[in-house]
Structure 1
């Protein structure tokens, strides 16, 4: 956005929202300034440059949130951190799934709940691409449940493991909406589609307290980690890594959510190493259509998660 465009946008926001429009415009100006500083930031490391057999992406997971719950899970006993290449899912995918790593992708199975694969992933480039979000989206909570991803990953590992060398599994949690602790109407599918992630922007606007948002966020992290525990008992892998595509900001540098700015709280993500042994303790459900309306577009899915078209 140019400065002239910002001025025009500010006028429109003030005309529509008064003082609230001024605050929104100032926030946009701050983000614009931070984006210009990205060229000076550490660009991060592509996950394909690391050794792993299974890579579990927890969408939007903060380092401190993972540390807070680590003692509750035996498989989180080898902590670390990683510098992500992106501050938002679309930026992470654009910079991760590149021609440079075509050989690695061709040997990798990718099971994902993130709708941005529609733009950044060609099925022909992967050993297997299972876009779980296409038929497992839950309209009641406005996101793909963790168990649908777990089921897809176990099916891939047990039924098609001879087709790939690596398995990449992308859960949508702890990204809001929080499945166990919804935050009122802010998590509904047809609301909070102004281009920001729901709960974090509710915090910025004073709708929620920091403790309310944090409690819901950590509850959502526990929710997905409980499913990760199921997954780790139902596939075989010598080296499993739990990480994230990006973090989330709750006011650091005046930023909330995960816009594409290269501040540390968005780029420094967890990196926990563990193993997995198939104890055959769970039988995954076969793929079942969620019953969602067929005319719901990818853009609608992304707007429900708080992403705008730009």
Structure 2
């Protein structure tokens, strides 16, 4: 594990030029390129984090973001907000809204798109940061149980399935796991395309981090699965950076923060985190 607070070789997303930035959670560069159906020029960037919390802390901490509205299907920013000195104009926590899908235990990509389009209409002169959960599990169209904690009776309640997989407690092939992530990505991409088709300006589609599917990392040369913090392998920090220009650039202006500082029930936050596999942060 690296001793730095974050991957200082990575890209500061807020120093880049964009009007809209779309994050696909846990989408590595090579997997995106294999499944991508979006038009636009695709580059590769290096992420500042190897998991979501590290990515958000490294990019948001100390930033004046009152020109940006953050629409997020992930509870990670809310969970760590006390440790992140940032001031978004607005934060829309889709995971705490009616958008949470109780059957699948996640936010569906079409729901994230719906909330993002509403925010785009309400805040036409703000940058838009949209965070989809997919391809991160749970796997929406799959009947698998290991990724759905409430169904996986044999699972330790305080351990993710990555822990089980790395400790030989879960029998699934690298190929099968790769395919499940690919299916989740392909499930999301049409809804991402629906969003970017509606957005004016310079839109970027990227990821917060990648994922390891049994590759070996130094200094411990054993197969590893997952995306822990402070492990900066190519599989974890190489992310796609698709740029798409459409219409006129928007006139982006800052405005006083309207981000809701009211507390969300701790039990709700814990349940959402557990459903998404965040049990050790």
Please tell me the TM-score bracket, short chain as reference. 0.7 to 0.9
Q: Structure 1 residues 97, 47: closer, same or farther in 2, change over 3 A?
A: same
Aligned to 1:303: 274
- 2:12 corresponds in structure 1 to 46
Contact map agreement 2:146 2:161 (CA 8 A) in 1 = no
1:256 maps to 2:220: no
Q: Cα 1:277–1:151, aligned 2, differ >3 Å: closer, same or farther?
A: farther
Per the TM alignment, residue 196 of structure 1 is displaced from its structure 2 partner at its CA by 3.1
Gapped regions of structure 2 (runs ≥ 5)? 218-222, 249-264
1:176/1:198 contact within 8 Å kept? no
| TM-score normalised by structure 1 residue count | 0.73
1:217 aligns with 2:177: no
Partners in 1 of 2:117 and 2:68 — Cα distance? 15
TM norm structure 2: 0.80
Equivalent residue for 1:130?
Answer: 92
1:217 alignment partner, SS class = helix
Q: CA RMSD in A?
A: 2.8
Change (3 A) 1:109 1:223: same
* Structure 1 spans left out of the alignment, 5+ residues: 1-34, 279-293
1:160 Cα deviation after fit: 2.3
Change (3 A) 1:216 1:202: farther
Q: Looking at secondary structure, tell me which structure has more helix per residue.
A: 1
Larger C-alpha radius of gyration, 1 or 2? 1
Shift of 1:195: 3.6
**Alignment partners' CA distance in 2, 1:40 and 1:92:** 8
Once the two structures are superposed, the pairs formed by residues 101-116 of structure 1 within 5 Å of their partners are: 101-102=63-64, 105-116=65-76
Offset at residue 134 of structure 1 (A): 0.4
Deviations 1:249-272 (A, max 9, x none): 011223211111222211111111
User: Larger relative CO (CA 8 A, sep 6+): 1 or 2?
Assistant: 2
Deviation of 1:158 (Å): 1.3
Aligned residues: 251
* C-alpha distance in structure 1 between counterparts of 2:108 and 2:5, whole Å: 36
One of 130, 153, 162 as aligned partner of 1:169:
130
**Correspondence 1:142-221 to 2 at 5 A:** 142-162=105-125, 164=126, 166-182=127-143, 184-190=144-150, 191=152, 192=155, 193-197=157-161, 201=165, 205-221=169-185
